[in-house]
Structure 1
Amino acid sequence: MTPEPTAQRTPSPTRRLTVAQALVAFLARQYTERDGHRRRLIAACWGIFGHGNVAGLGQALLESGAAGPPGPYGSDPPGPAPALPFLQGRNEQAMVHAATGFARQSGRLSTHAVTTSIGPGATNLVTGAALATINHLPVLLLPGDTFATRPADPVLQQLEVPYAGDVSVNDCLRPVSRYFDRIVRPEALVPAALQAVRVLTDPAATGAVTLALPQDVQAEVHDWPEDFFADRVWPVRRPAPDPAALADAARAVRAARRPLLIAGGGVRHSGAQAALRAFADATGIPVAATQAGKGALRHDHPAEVGGVGHTGTAVANDLARATDLVVGVGTRYTDFTTASATLFADPAVRFLNLNIASFDAHKLAATALVADARAGLEALTAALAGHRVDAAYEAAYRTAKERWERRVDAAYAAPDPAARPTQAQVLGALDAVVGDDDVIVNAAGSLPGDLHKLWRARSPYQYHVEYGYSCMGYEIPAALGVRLAAPDRPVWALVGDGTYLMMPTELVTAVQEGVNITVVLLQNHGYASIGGLSEQVGAERFGTAYRFRAADGTYTGDPLPVDLAANAASLGMAVLRAATVGELRAALAAARTADRPTCVYVETAPPGPELPGAQAWWDVPVAAVADRPAAVAAREAYERRAATRRRHL
């Protein structure tokens, strides 16, 4: 018999590139798509170059065309091979914060990559990675790594571990990354890159993703399959709730007499604000918010009762203490939200959690509704058709909200325009200037507490307070990322002097790139938030003030003669100094219309009695044994509050 002819297979086309060049080309072709809207996944790459990435990713970005002026971030320039725009950073941690701010403003559908050298450049990423992962926000980290081929041991900045030859400082990034891989061979890049993008685009699993890139491997050449560089669209689905779980959820809501909905960051990430408003309109159930969820309803919506938890409003926390059903939507139930497990006091209270992450949906022994926030709210609203809370309950919380608004008015009021403003009065002056499109960025110090209690959010994206990690130094770089994602929105970074001294570096980047952010710099001569907490827990404000040492050796002398406004000016910012309430109002109005990055500098007065204190407890353990009377008294108070903790089972 004549044998059958052997089929001739046409070799797949390949492209000869270095590992770094291939990675840049791959990233430039990744897209997300949700609700029919397509966006570029990696809109730009931040970088600081050293010997661990300059000849690899640095050369690759240059060759790809990233050195030219970028177009609108997240859009493709014309041509068959889109470039990956490059942004020059000043601090590695700050670059991650900027990428994270961009990702949050973009609804997690677009983010930035960050490349660093090996050693300290790479380990500086850890804090930013932790922040991104804790807040479920995607960011791609591309740190250089030591040689995979080990031509000499040790090389510069190599960590020698006697028991393991394959460990480098980049392994510090493993616990703060949702996906980690080290690319020790060119062939490993293809599966690792695909897995990295899978995690970045998974709303239930996203966070920091790290691809550690040994400096020698970055420069190695390989023949890559052409399909690796094809446009790839990653659908971001909206999983609907299970019908049986939805029926259980509807029964729980119908049976509740005093339900309370707590809106978390998942509402924002899902773009579920309209669905939440429709739910509240239909049912009359009051809506409180976590730090990440504040703004999900406009402040003037009849069902919106403000922040909940330790920094929440009196009306929201009173409702939480009496509720018999907590409907948590997109929340992780942090200790600030639950007042360290003391807030939900009704013995019969139960929980219904709508969350895209099963881990969070099942917290507090809840009835779990594992679904996208928007899809879940829409389904639950339909399942509750015709149901509404009792009219007396609705009237009671609306009356309580009116009382709280009068307290906010009192805190904001500044009757003497010649007086030095308190921090609350600064917020009141800012409230009078901003519009619905403005974005307020904050993360740490005493400002998050005041903002959560007092700020009147006017749009879904106005309130940008990072409180999952509450990271000092986040505000300025994050504001930069927000403005890159939303170039038409005025963006304000609210920072105290402690936060400013942590990380002002990206002011230089804002000036260089012409990214018009406004920094409101509040000088209160130290760590105001921790100073107040220190006093409450018997530590008597030890080590929290920025002052000279006194004769007894303590930091209780005169304030330090630092001039942070002059520092901001030296970094290229336009600076407006405001010594009084009247000057502050004028400076804020001028800054909002400025055509360059601007800093408004104001020294604040101590808070007055009109500022509401904490509306719920927060567990900060106090010394069990002490000689100083302040600590003894604080311990007695602590034990009384700790006794009210409970586990919800």
Structure 2
Amino acid sequence: MSEPAPPRFDGEEADTGEPTADGSDPITESEATEIQTGAQSVVAALERAGAETLFGVQGGAIMPVYDALYDSELHHVTMAHEQAAAHAADAYGIVSGTPGVCLATSGPGATNLTTGIADADMDSDPMVALTGQVPTDFVGNDAFQETDTTGLTAPITKTNYFAQHADEVGDTVGEAFALASEGRPGPTLVDLPKDVTNGETDAEPGEAETPETYNPQTVADEEAVRDAARTLEAAEKPVLLAGGGVIKGEASEEVREFARTYGIPVATSMPAVGAFPEDDELAMEMVGMHGTGYANMATTHCDVLLAVGCRFDDRLTGGVETFAPDAEVVHVDIDPAEISKNVHADVPLVGDAATVLEQVSDEMGRASDADPEEVAEGYDEWRDQCREWKAEYPMDYATPDDEPLKPQFVVEALDEATDDDAIVTTGVGQHQMWAVQYWTFKEPRTWVSSHGLGTMGYGLPAAIGAKMADPDKEVVSFEGDGSFLMTIQELAVAVRENLDITVAVLNNEYIGMVRQWQDAFFDGRRAASEYSWCPEFDKLAEAFGAEGFAVSDYDEVASAVESAMAYDGPSVIDFRIDPAENVYPMVPSGGANGQFALSEDQL
């Protein structure tokens, strides 16, 4: 008797087959297999929806789905922890633009997913979570590994489902997949009771489609478009503020064309980094708590703010009453709930970002017959002012010989050593801010981080998901020592999958951002923020099977970076950086963006 085919798990390449003689796609073995259980219908639905890679951890209640995956061409990546599975799926969705998929069992498996689900929800990232559940008859009886998963995740998902029947579960999964990316993206979840996935069925799941009742508005009201165009034409000091919705809505090209056509300076929220190239003369870069001085000055002093796909969170605005105080706000967003939620919109434009920008551009100049060059000329003095702010508040830093290695230098060294389209992932803390401040981003979907939820430990599993989504791009993950320790076990996954990723640990032996705030606002009382007990990360990396490096001096940086980037597999560089270095500019929480601090004595 021949041996059974091995499962398509843990790095094994899927055989996609060759085209048929008429050019149509081949019928794969999994497609030819007759559906017999709800679990097989779940897998068929994922295949039909276009999923390719899944991230998860096995367990009792999800076991029927994994058994169905055994015969599937889908590539499953077994993660070391469910939270990391969710972060990897999240990053996969950010980089690919299609929903990432994560799986976990019931009870602790599902609860471990929730941090990653909440992260994706805050950042509007497309993701589908599939969770096992105890049999339907046991629900509510405190059965082994039972948790009310749909109740727990209702506030942190776009929608979720409790699967009811084996005949319907495939269509439910397909709908969840479609909803995750349509309109404003976000995570969806399907809870799968074991009797449903084990239940018999011959129902083939249909196409992955959203419900007929789900019809997000994509084209803005014509009168609002006219108001927006007239407002911009009358402006003398406009700023285009790109939010994360620009990248989610595939509107980066439209933003670039609009800004360059009319000569409008562009600032970005942190989730929108890469939407507009930061080496462009119109780029003011990131605005907000740790944004550039010139971006904060531009948004504070503009007279019209064209905000596209932006939710105006507190890290961006500082005190709402002091944010863009003299500006008429033109707000474009596909989610009407975001309009005037935090910042009042004088001209609300509900619709798809790319579509609405084209509408406004088509309307510009019609009332006065002015061509784009004439409109742009009206902003000449404003662009000069923005250039002056760039000169006055440069993003520079000192490297004294008598002080330890500066983290900014490390970020710039890695940026210099990589391609323009290299993907950067981060954890959360000071290292995240240095990465976004000192790396020059030129392309969308190359900055992958935790923004709204601020989840430490995001960087390494995100690097795994990003590399799976785009294997041909270089992936660099910046982590802090505290952040890295939260998900360091995923190095085992990176080694097993032989993923060519580079982890740069900016190691200052502190939870650095906490330490910075304690020094500034808590009289230097460093409670529970000192991490002098951290391991030697280079040696720990080697214990996992990765390549490890330790760097303390400037003259060691270039060679370590070169060796790490050349290594064909995961590598970790433990950069022992200056523990006293702080992140600036900085706007104190709730402060005015135009009154940013450049040193601690200005706080």
Deviates more, 1:284-293 or 1:232-241: 232-241
1:550 alignment counterpart: none
Show the counterpart of 2:54: 45
Change (3 A) 1:321 1:211: same
The alpha carbon displacement at 1:170 in A equals 4.9
Counterpart residue number, 2:479: 495
Distance 1:340-1:566 versus aligned 2 partners, 3 A rule: farther
Alpha-carbon distance, 1:233 to partner: 11
Q: Quick one: percent identity of the two aligned structures? A: 27
Gapped regions of structure 1 (runs ≥ 5): 1-13, 31-39, 65-82, 160-167, 548-558, 621-633, 639-649
Query: In the superposition, relative to structure 1, how do residues 539 and 57 fare at CA in structure 2: closer, same or farther (>3 Å)?
Result: farther
Which secondary structure does the structure 1 equivalent of 2:102 belong to?
strand
Q: Residue type of the partner of 1:28?
A: E
Could you say what secondary structure the match of 2:239 adopts?
strand
- What is the alpha-carbon distance in structure 1 between the residues aligned to residue 141 and residue 190 of structure 2? 22
Aligned to 1:578: 551
Mapped pair 1:57 → 2:28: no
Please state how far the C-alpha of 1:154 moved relative to its aligned partner. 4.4
Equivalent position SS for 2:383: helix
Offset of residue 46 of structure 1: 1.9
Structure 2 CA distance, aligned partners of 1:586 and 1:576? 10
Alignment of 1:131-210 (within 5 A): 131-150=119-138, 153-158=141-146, 168-204=148-184, 206-210=185-189
Amino acid at match of 1:575: G
C-alpha contact 2:88 2:464 (8 A) present in aligned 1: yes
How do 1:380-391 and structure 2 match up within 5 A?
380-385=360-365, 386=371, 387-388=375-376, 389-391=378-380
Residue 175 of structure 1 aligns to a residue in which SS? helix
User: 1:594 aligns to what?
Assistant: 567
Q: In 2, Cα distance between the equivalents of 1:440 and 1:231?
A: 31
The superposition leaves residues 187-210 of structure 1 with CA deviations (integer Å, 9 ceiling, x where unpaired) of: 442553343133113132x31111
After TM superposition, give the deviation of residue 382 of structure 1 in Å: 2.6
1:370-403: CA deviations, max 9, x gaps? 1222222222223224222431111111232234
Equivalences for 1:2-13 in 2 at 5 Å?
Answer: none
Is the CA contact 1:414–1:581 (under 8 Å) kept in the aligned structure 2? no
CA gap of 1:255–1:243, structure 2 versus 1, over 3 A, is: same
Are 2:315 and 1:336 equivalent residues in the alignment? yes
State whether residues 291 and 466 of structure 1, in contact with CA within 8 Å, keep that contact through their aligned partners in structure 2.
Answer: no
Amino acid at match of 2:441: A
- SS in structure 1 of the partner of residue 136 of structure 2: coil
Q: Given that residues 161 and 189 in structure 2 are in contact (C-alpha distance below 8 angstroms), is that contact kept between their aligned partners in structure 1? A: yes
Alpha carbons of 1:319 and 1:477: their partners in 2 closer, same or farther (altered >3 Å)?
Answer: same
Asked whether the equivalents of residues 260 and 288 of structure 1 are also in contact (C-alpha less than 8 Å), the reply is yes
Cα contact 2:84–2:458 (8 A) shared by 1: yes
Task: Work out whether residues 406 and 581 of structure 2, in 8 Å CA contact, stay in contact via their aligned partners in 1.
Answer: yes
Query: How do 1:363-512 residues align onto structure 2 when only pairs under 5 Å count?
Result: 363=341, 364-366=343-345, 367-385=347-365, 386=371, 387-388=375-376, 389-404=378-393, 407-408=394-395, 410-411=396-397, 414=399, 420-512=404-496
Determine whether 1:353 maps to 2:331.
yes
Q: Between 363-372 and 503-512, report the one with greater CA deviation.
A: 363-372
Q: Secondary structure at the match of 2:240?
A: strand
Q: Which residue of 1 aligns with 2:25?
A: none
- How far did residue 517 of structure 1 move? 0.8
- The CA deviation at 1:592 is 1.9
> How far apart in 1 are the matches of 2:131 and 2:218?
34
Deviates more, 1:445-454 or 1:489-498: 445-454
2:385 alignment partner AA = A
Match of 2:585 among 601, 607, 613: 613
Three-state SS of the structure 1 residue aligned to 2:495 is: helix
- Between the aligned partners of 2:224 and 2:568, the Cα distance in structure 1 is 53
Q: What letter corresponds to residue 472 of structure 2 in structure 1?
A: D
Name the residue aligned to 1:262.
Answer: 241
Task: Tell me the CA shift for residue 237 of structure 1.
Answer: 9.6
SS in 1 for 2:285: strand
Q: CA deviation at 1:175?
A: 1.4
1:123-138 pair list within 5 angstroms: 123-138=111-126
Aligned partner of 2:79 among 75, 84, 89: 89
Amino acid at match of 2:113: L
Residue 328 of structure 1 contacts residue 353 of structure 1 at CA under 8 Å; is this kept in 2? yes
Q: TM-score, normalised by structure 2?
A: 0.85
**1:202–1:236 CA contact under 8 A, matched in 2:** no
Conservation of the 8 A alpha-carbon contact between 1:436 and 1:459 = yes
Distance 1:288 1:178 in 2: 28
Between the aligned partners of 1:61 and 1:570, the Cα distance in structure 2 is 31
Structure 1 pair 98–539 and aligned structure 2 pair: CA distance change class (3 A): farther
Corresponding residue for 1:556?
Answer: none
Paired residue secondary structure (2:233): helix
1:262 alignment partner, SS class: strand
Quote the offset at 1:342 in angstroms. Answer: 4.8
Structure 1 residue identity aligned to 2:590: D
Amino acid in the other structure paired with 1:564: F
**Is the alpha carbon distance of 1:597 and 1:151 closer, same or farther for their aligned partners in structure 2, counting shifts above 3 Å?**
closer
Closer, same or farther in 2 for the Cα pair 1:233/1:354, shift >3 Å?
Answer: closer
TM-superposed deviation, 1:123: 0.6
Match in the other structure for 2:518: 534
Q: Identify which range, 599-608 or 330-339, moves more after superposition.
A: 599-608
Alpha-carbon distance between aligned partners in 2 of 1:488 and 1:193, rounded to the nearest angstrom: 30
Point out where structure 2 has 5 or more consecutive residues left out of the alignment: 1-32, 366-370, 592-599
CA distance 1:460–1:249, change in 2 (3 Å):
same
Maintained 8 Å contact 1:442/1:448:
yes
Matches within 5 A, 1:215-234: 215-224=194-203, 226=204, 228=205
- Structure 1 segment 287-326 matched on structure 2, within 5 A: 287-326=266-305
Letter of the 2:447 counterpart: Y
Q: Measure the CA separation in 2 of the matches of 1:16 and 1:608.
A: 59
CA deviation after TM superposition for structure 1 residue 141, in Å: 0.9
Deviations 1:383-441 (A, max 9, x none): 2242224311111112322344xx33x32x6475x973112222222232222021111
Amino acid at match of 2:391: E
Task: Classify 1:369/1:561 alpha carbon distance in 2 versus 1 (closer, same or farther; 3 Å).
Answer: closer
Q: What is the identity, as a one-letter code, of the residue corresponding to 2:67?
A: Q
**Cα distance change on mapping 1:223 and 1:345 into 2, 3 Å:** closer
Pick from 108, 113, 127: which aligns with 1:120?
A: 108
The one-letter code sitting in structure 2 at the alignment partner of 1:536 is A
